[in-house]
Amino acid sequence: MVSVIKGTEALSYCKCLFLLVWVFLLFLIPQTSVFSDEIYIKNGDRISGEITEQTDKTISIITEAAGSVSIDRSYVDHVETTKDAESKDTMETIWDRKISIGYNRSSGNTKDSQLSTSLSANRKRERVDEITLKGEAYYSSSNSKMDAQKWFVAGRYAFSFGKSRGWYNFYKLEIDHDRFANIDHRSMPTVGLGYWFCDSQEFKFMVEAAVGLERTDYRNETSDSEEAILAPRAFFEGRVFGDSKISQDLYIYPILEDLSAYRLHSETVFTAPIADGLFLKTSLLDDYNSTPAVNTEKNDLRLITSIEYSF
């Protein structure tokens, strides 16, 4: 009987994952298949085809359905041509790779140690698309007895759209493990929409919202769960004290069926340069779960100091 239930749960999970992948494809195909000229009308319509002539008063375009069409420029919002799309593909690609490690140890009446590591790689074509890969691990012990073991990996793809290219679609997969929250592993694929209000060297600010599926397998007697979730996020980063930076990244994960049940992840980071490509990094991480697993706390707060190398 148990194996039948497990099999049903696995089938349900696969169906939901398949549906999410299908939604991903529906979002992705229209954005990555723009190889024709496009005229955007002020009322929201869009005409695709091959532009044959442009004057101060009109734009002529050959369309598959209506043949040659001439449009008064007073009705046109903006125009995107094949040349524009090709130029986006040849834009400069910016890579940002970071590795950090932190270790604290105390001895005497109490012997404590904490080890944290993180790796990240970001490939960005400004106002075109962005790929981010990230991994983190954290371990601590007290009097030679382990009291924390966490790891986290994530992959994210986003591409910009719209006239200003401030809007973007994104697709993300997160997997994490937390031994002392009794989570064997938790996987969370999401798809969503975001907007960059500001993206400069001095200040960055964006918000985004997503929907997804959260599957959690527990280590103890808590029943495994599979829930549809929301995933709003807000992020800002600004310069302080010269080249030092402070950032705040806030995630909230409410369950769609019961919005009073949610998780919250907050990460406040201060980085100060100490040499070329080398930084002192202080992170305050807060993980809150309104409905934690059996025999675990709702709140988990960590303060981590580490050395970060960017290349």
pLDDT tens-digit readout, 267-302? 999 999 999 999 999 999 999 999 887 778 899 999
Q: What is the pLDDT of residues 131-143, one digit of tens each?
A: 999 999 999 999 8
9 domain residue, yes or no = no
Domain of residue 65, residue span: 37-87
Number of domains within the chain: 2
Rounded to an integer, what distance in angstroms lies between the CA atom of residue 268 and that of residue 246?
Answer: 7
Rounded to an integer, what distance in angstroms lies between the CA atom of residue 111 and that of residue 35?
Answer: 63
Please report the pLDDT score of residue 93 as a whole number. 83
pTM over 0.85: no
Q: What is the pLDDT of residues 101-123, one digit of tens each?
A: 999 888 877 789 999 999 999 99
Please report the pLDDT score of residue 188 as a whole number. 96
| pLDDT over threshold 60, residue 11 | no
Query: For the residues 216-225, what does the mean pLDDT come to?
Result: 86
Q: Which sign does the torsion angle of CA 259, 260, 263, 266 carry?
A: positive
Does residue 141 sit in the same domain as residue 284? yes
| pLDDT over threshold 50, residue 266 | yes
Please report the pLDDT score of residue 20 as a whole number. 54
Rounded to an integer, what distance in angstroms lies between the CA atom of residue 237 and that of residue 306?
Answer: 19
Q: What is the pLDDT of residues 39-55, one digit of tens each?
A: 889 888 888 888 888 88
Does residue 105 sit in the same domain as residue 42? no
Does residue 70 sit in the same domain as residue 115? no
Q: How confident is the model at residue 169 (pLDDT cuts 50, 70, 90)?
A: very high
Report, in this order, helix, strand and coil percent for the chain, each rounded to 5.
15, 65, 20
Does residue 126 sit in the same domain as residue 180? yes
3 domain residue, yes or no = no
CATH value at residue 59: 2.30.30.100
Look up residue 249 and give its DSSP letter.
E
| pLDDT over threshold 80, residue 74 | yes
CATH value at residue 199: 2.40.160.40
Asked if 175 and 187 touch (Cβ cutoff 8 Å), the reply is yes
Query: For the residues 179-191, what does the mean pLDDT come to?
Result: 92
Query: For the residues 13-40, what does the mean pLDDT come to?
Result: 55
User: Facing residues of 60 across strands?
Assistant: 53, 70
- DSSP secondary structure string, 175-187? EEEEGGGTEEEEE
Does residue 194 sit in the same domain as residue 276? yes
Does residue 187 sit in the same domain as residue 47? no
